[in-house]
Every structure is written in structure tokens, then in C-alpha cells.
Chain A
Amino acid sequence: KQEVTQIPAALSVPEGENLVLNCSFTDSAIYNLQWFRQDPGKGLTSLLLIQSSQREQTSGRLNASLDKSSGRSTLYIAASQPGDSATYLCAVQPSSGNTPLVFGKGTRLSVIA
């Protein structure tokens, strides 16, 4: 059974720092991996999706990498801003088609001005 773990559970950094959020999964046979952002009391916003054949994806100040063989993904946030404060969730899709996403518990990020 696929399990997804995110470390750390919470992180507080000063504005301007570069930071890395970690995600690990137990079964390397995944179809894709997706990073989401969730603001308090809100729904999830998709940030980046990495297909199993890809190594990384970039969007603005965000860069997500995938190492399928070791069961790891990282989300790199450059030059953090207070507006980046949110919970970041990692989810894997085990296979194509009807399989639901398996979510980690998230990392709660606070960027202090």
C-alpha cells in the first residue's frame, strides 16, 4: 500500500530565504506526483505535476524534482515571501486511469516578514 510522508510537518523561515520541502513515498511505481498549496480554510491549488518519466518541473519561483527510484520528491521555493505561507501537500497517483491520489499530511510553511 502506497504511503506518502512529508517532512517537516511545519517550517518557519524569514522572508527571502530559499527553502526545500520534502516528500517521500514507499512504492516507486507511480504514474505521477503532484504538489498542492492549501490556504487556511480553502481548497487546494495545484502547483506542479511531475510525470513518472520526468525529473523536474518549474513554475516561477517553484521547482519540483522527482527521484522515483529512491521514492523522493522535493519542492524548492526560491526567495520566499510572506504570501507563500500556506500548507503544501504532496500527492502521488499510483497508476493511470481510475486510481485516486494518495496524499501526505502536508508541511505548514510560515514566512516571516
Chain B
Amino acid sequence: SAVISQKPSRDICQRGTSLTIQCQVDSQVTMMFWYRQQPGQSLTLIATANQGSEATYESGFVIDKFPISRPNLTFSTLTVSNLSPEDSSIYLCSARAFSGAETQYFGPGTRLLVL
């Protein structure tokens, strides 16, 4: 199994600023993903973080707003830029470890409140 940690666990930010979330996996994984979960909703995929290249974004999400880095097989960052109250959500890092079953694991989430 893979254990995923995220920093920060929560933050309160002012409108117009940016927040960078770090995701660390305790083992090398094939794929890393970033999700958003708005209050009372299910998960929405933001992007797939690709090692050493640009992330693959889902419809409705753009690199200028959600820049993502993945410099190696165990670490990724998501930045949420130019924050607005609508960005208040839980942001979840996820990783898929090829263990023969391709189980997907999730971090504990980062709870963001934008004032």
C-alpha cells in the first residue's frame, strides 16, 4: 500500500492570493492525481500529474489557475492561484501504485477556506 501525506492540512487565505499544496507518497507510484471536493459533493478530478512534463487537465480546469508540478515519482504540488471564495474546498492528492491491482490511494486532504 501507499501512504500519502499532504501539507498544509488546512488554511485560510485571502481573496487574490495563492496556496500551494504539497503531496508526498512514501513509495514510488505510477500515477498521481489532484481532486477537488466541494462541500457536500463528490470528487471532481482536476488533473493528472505527470512526472517531468505538463499535467493533463480535465475540462473546466486550466494550468494558469491550477499549476501542478511533479518533479519525481513520489512528490507533487498543486497551486490554486488568484483565490476566490468559490475555491473553498477540500483538495485531495491521490496516487495509483501498480501492485498488480492498481489500487488507488488518497491523502488526508487540504481544507481551504477563502475569505
Which A residues fall within an 8 A CB radius of B?
A: 31-32, 34, 36, 41-46, 49, 51, 89, 91, 93, 96, 98, 100-101, 103-106
Contact B109 A106 (CB under 8 A): no
Contact A46 B103 (CB under 8 A): yes
User: Quick one: which of B31, B42, B106 contacts A43, CB cutoff 8 A?
Assistant: B106
Inter-chain contacts of A104 with B (CB < 8 A): 42
Inter-chain contacts of B106 with A (CB < 8 A): 36, 43-46
Contact B42 A32 (CB under 8 A): no
Closest B residue to A32 using CB positions: B102
Given A44-B92, A98-B31, A89-B48 contact (CB < 8 Å): no
Contact B48 A98 (CB under 8 A): yes
Inter-chain contacts of B90 with A (CB < 8 A): 41
**B interface SS class:** strand
In the assembled complex, the CB of A90 is this many whole angstroms from the nearest CB of chain B, namely: 10
**Which residues of B31-79 are within 8 A (CB) of A?**
31, 33, 41-43, 45, 48
Given A42-B108, A43-B108, A100-B45 contact (CB < 8 Å): yes
User: Quick one: which of A36, A91, A100, A106 contacts B48, CB cutoff 8 A?
Assistant: A100
Contact B109 A42 (CB under 8 A): yes
Contact A105 B33 (CB under 8 A): no
B7 at the A interface (CB under 8 A): no
Known: A49-B102, A89-B42, A93-B102. 4 other contacts (CB 8 A): A100-B33, A101-B104, A103-B42, A103-B43
In the assembled complex, the CB of B37 is this many whole angstroms from the nearest CB of chain A, namely: 9
Inter-chain contacts of A41 with B (CB < 8 A): 90, 109, 111
Closest A residue to B90 using CB positions: A41
CA distance A18 to B103 in the complex (A): 26
Inter-chain contacts of B92 with A (CB < 8 A): 43-44
Inter-chain contacts of A96 with B (CB < 8 A): 102
Inter-chain contacts of B45 with A (CB < 8 A): 100-101
Closest A residue to B1 using CB positions: A46
Can you list 20 contacts pairing A with B, beta carbon distance less than 8 Å? A41-B109, A42-B109, A43-B4, A43-B107, A43-B108, A44-B43, A44-B94, A45-B106, A49-B101, A49-B102, A89-B42, A89-B43, A96-B102, A98-B48, A100-B45, A101-B45, A103-B43, A104-B42, A105-B41, A105-B42
